[in-house]
Structure 1
Amino acid sequence: SRLFDEMSTCSSKRARGASDGVDRLSSLPNELLHRVMSFLPMPEVVRTSLLSPRWRYLWVSTPYIRIDHQDFMDDSKFKNFGNRLLILRDGATSLDEARISAHNVVRGTSWCEWIRHAIMHKVRLLHVSAYAPLDSTAMFPSQHLKIVRLQFNLLEHGFFRQLNCVCSVLEHLELEGCGLSEVNEISSRSLKVLYIIRCLIVKGLVICASNLTHLSIVDPRCRSGAIVTRDLPSLVTALVSLRSDNFHYKENTILGHGLLDGLSHATTLQLHAPLPEVRTSSFLFMCIQVSMNVLACLVRFCYILPPLHFFQLVFFSLLCAGTILAS
């Protein structure tokens, strides 16, 4: 990659600033400079090696890496940069954060290897955004990975089983816009925070996490099956927000008894759901019918509820909105 070749060919004289003043930035400790670098695109981080001898090898020991497809003109440059970046960085340096954005990159490219590299180097926060499949082979055993954020991935068969088994200290999991193709179970003793945002759930999802304290399920797209929660004794706050038309108020679907069962320990519970947007004389009747279906689930659910500190049930539509608050 030409970017890396420039590191050895450019003169260090270019490192001198426009002024003859004291270079206070270079006098800062490595940890602080690495933190400053973490806000820059990774190609710019590499280019800091041209500033002065002090900076020449500073980037290779940064504990933050961010490989973003949008920083490159084509896939080949993106792939070459990512590969060389991981080869040239200091392998003895553990990673605090690894952010990989590989939009429009198809299966067979190197980005899954980059994930494995990050996990092998003790990454604590892993953020992967890619319109591509992600299978169980990307997840290596880790005693350090605490936060995982996945966007727009197709999570293939066996991914969650591997995640549950090998990430023993995982505390925070976010899934946004992901596709879950099989019946999946998120089962973890270490998980404390779980966000599921606008995910396509094809055949069902079971959430079982004894130490989970916060759960948010926002606009799930369920084709069949249900979201089921169970064994959540540590749950403190829960939010279920349904904003699409792709659901039904029945026991075996999204807002059914299977989902509500596991929320019984929450002290703060919010349920948001849309009313039908029908501009006819039967609108009021339909609103009442939908509301009663939801409330029927809640009535069966209430006998196992502890004293709630806050409860909110919200219905919304273009024509009317209703809110029930209890405290």
Structure 2
Amino acid sequence: MDRSMEPPSKRIHATENQPMEPPSKRIRGAQDDRLSDLPDCLLHSILSFLESRQVVRSSVLSRRWKNIWRSVPCLDIDFTLFRRQARCRSRKCCVTDYGRMKVCAKEWRPFVEFSDKLFLINSAPSLDRLRIHVPAVNYDDRQACSRWISRGVQRSPTVIDIHMDSSWGWGKWFLPDLGSKSYRLTRILLHGVQLDDSFAEQLRCGYPVLEHLSLVKCFYRIGDIVSGTLTHLTIDDCVGHHGFSDGIVVAAPRLTSLRTSLSTSGWPDGIYVTHTPSLVKASLCVTSWYHTKASFLDNLYRIFNIPHLELFGFNMMVNLLQISDKLPQFNNVRTLLINRCDLKTNVNIKTLDHFLQSMSSLEKLTLQNCEFTDRSKRRTSRAKWRNIALESQNLMSFKCDNLEVIEFKHSKDDGIDELFELLMGLWRNLGKTNIKLTKV
């Protein structure tokens, strides 16, 4: 007989000799906390996806979580999480660095106190990630930041991510010598950090398993980047010490991907890539062309001739053709992506044609965020679009037997029909090539 169908008196009599659970325990039992039943290693892995302040707050979830945060193998401090929603109206509590970046002392002091305690209490013998994200601060506050970096690198981190955010420009920190603590280091991400010869020497022989290196807005005093293990390298908007080096040499036999943004004023000689037989992908952006040297062009063309090439900014191609009358042949290029492509004028269309003629082995061409018409003018009629397409047919003389796909990535649906008619006019000589429109 089903006990749930018995009279209440019988059901009570059947359990009157058994101790009844308190209501609070019965509720807890109903709410089965399966997450707390996981071993510490899995809980550490889950908490590693959070910033350290959020990790500390997890201690109030249950008794099981009370001390878990103390041994999480990740230290991630971010000053932006300590900023208040409303801006500080009192100028007395704000400190200024070079008159550009203001940091409220009422926000900065709690951040420093929290970070100091965190680095002292955390008991993880080694770190999977060390991330420090702070704004530009004055000299005294930079000492606190240096203290956190020094304590963090003593835990033999696998990933180091140091970000000094500054509207003024490049930061004032030096990455300390890791010594024997670098044996687990696989990724270094630096933003606003100064680099000197000691860093170059550590790259050469001090990081035995380093694979990813990212340098953004760094102030460097190094002449080369030499590594036998490096596979991915990013050098974005970095500046060299005046009079120290006009360029930088990259020698990494295992390097497969290079991403760089450079200028002729910051690096007159550019980046010289050598001993990189595994390099298959490069993303390039040149921000200025002031007094371009022949060595800068030679080094740039060396990077161009790889299987997968990405160019950011159409002005790069326009300036290259203005500087040099004839382009070398880039026969190794298989895929080409051009971002922010400007094809509003016949001159730019011919510029693209010249570049494509130098890439006879090209298999896929991707044009992303391209502009074909001036949107500030009136909407062009469909008949006029057809006339524009017909006039553009003779602008592209490029022919490539290997070209299979031309993809246009766009973010708006406006003018898709007109765009298609224009493209059919431009690439009438590529009858076997598929034209693909993709919204991103």
Distance 1:127 1:45, change over 3 A: same
1:216 maps onto 2:247 in alignment: no
Query: 2:6 corresponds to which residue?
Result: none
| C-alpha deviation, 1:234, in angstroms | 1.5
Deviation track 1:17-71 (CA, whole Å, cap 9, x = no partner) reads: 9x64222221233233223323333223113223332112101111222111223
1:64 maps onto 2:108 in alignment: no
Could you tell me the percent identity over the aligned residues?
Answer: 27
CA contact (8 A) 1:271 1:313 kept: yes
What TM-score does the superposition give when structure 2 sets the normalisation length?
0.58
What TM-score does the superposition give when structure 1 sets the normalisation length?
0.75
1:69 aligned partner, one-letter code: F
Counterpart of 2:65 in 1: which secondary structure?
Answer: coil
- Equivalent of 2:185, from 132, 137, 145? 145
Distance 1:128 1:294, change over 3 A: farther
Counterpart of 2:323 in 1: which secondary structure?
Answer: helix
Deviation track 1:265-285 (CA, whole Å, cap 9, x = no partner) reads: x32234455439xxxxxxxxx
Counterpart of 2:176 in 1: which secondary structure?
Answer: helix
| C-alpha deviation, 1:188, in angstroms | 0.7
* Structure 2 unmatched runs, 5+: 1-23, 83-105, 166-170, 363-440
**Following superposition of structure 1 onto structure 2, how do residues 45-60 of structure 1 map, counting pairs within 5 Å?**
45-60=55-70
Deviation track 1:212-271 (CA, whole Å, cap 9, x = no partner) reads: 1111113547435322222212111122222x2354553133xx113433665x322344
| C-alpha deviation, 1:155, in angstroms | 3.0
Counterpart of 1:54 in 2: which secondary structure?
Answer: helix
Highest Rg: 1 or 2? 2
Distance 1:61 1:82, change over 3 A: same
Instruction: Indicate the RMSD between aligned Cα atoms, in angstroms.
Output: 3.2
2:118 aligned partner, one-letter code: L
1:308 maps onto 2:333 in alignment: yes
| C-alpha deviation, 1:189, in angstroms | 0.8
Counterpart of 1:90 in 2: which secondary structure?
Answer: coil
Query: 2:206 corresponds to which residue?
Result: 166
2:110 aligned partner, one-letter code: K
Query: 1:97 corresponds to which residue?
Result: 129
1:130 maps onto 2:164 in alignment: yes
- Equivalent of 1:194, from 216, 233, 256? 233
Query: 1:267 corresponds to which residue?
Result: 307
Distance 1:74 1:184, change over 3 A: farther
CA contact (8 A) 2:119 2:152 kept: no
- Equivalent of 1:291, from 321, 325, 329? 321
- In the alignment, the residues of structure 2 paired with residue 148 and residue 222 of structure 1 have an alpha-carbon distance, to the nearest angstrom, of 26
**Following superposition of structure 1 onto structure 2, how do residues 14-93 of structure 1 map, counting pairs within 5 Å?**
20=28, 21-72=31-82, 73-92=106-125
Counterpart of 2:57 in 1: which secondary structure?
Answer: helix
CA contact (8 A) 2:215 2:234 kept: yes
- In the alignment, the residues of structure 1 paired with residue 343 and residue 154 of structure 2 have an alpha-carbon distance, to the nearest angstrom, of 51
- In the alignment, the residues of structure 2 paired with residue 222 and residue 117 of structure 1 have an alpha-carbon distance, to the nearest angstrom, of 37
Deviation track 1:122-145 (CA, whole Å, cap 9, x = no partner) reads: 211111101432325354341110
| C-alpha deviation, 1:100, in angstroms | 0.7
- In the alignment, the residues of structure 1 paired with residue 111 and residue 340 of structure 2 have an alpha-carbon distance, to the nearest angstrom, of 46
CA contact (8 A) 2:77 2:133 kept: yes
The total of aligned residue pairs comes to 290
1:260 aligned partner, one-letter code: Y
Query: 2:195 corresponds to which residue?
Result: 155
- In the alignment, the residues of structure 2 paired with residue 313 and residue 114 of structure 1 have an alpha-carbon distance, to the nearest angstrom, of 41
Query: 2:299 corresponds to which residue?
Result: 258
Query: 1:6 corresponds to which residue?
Result: none
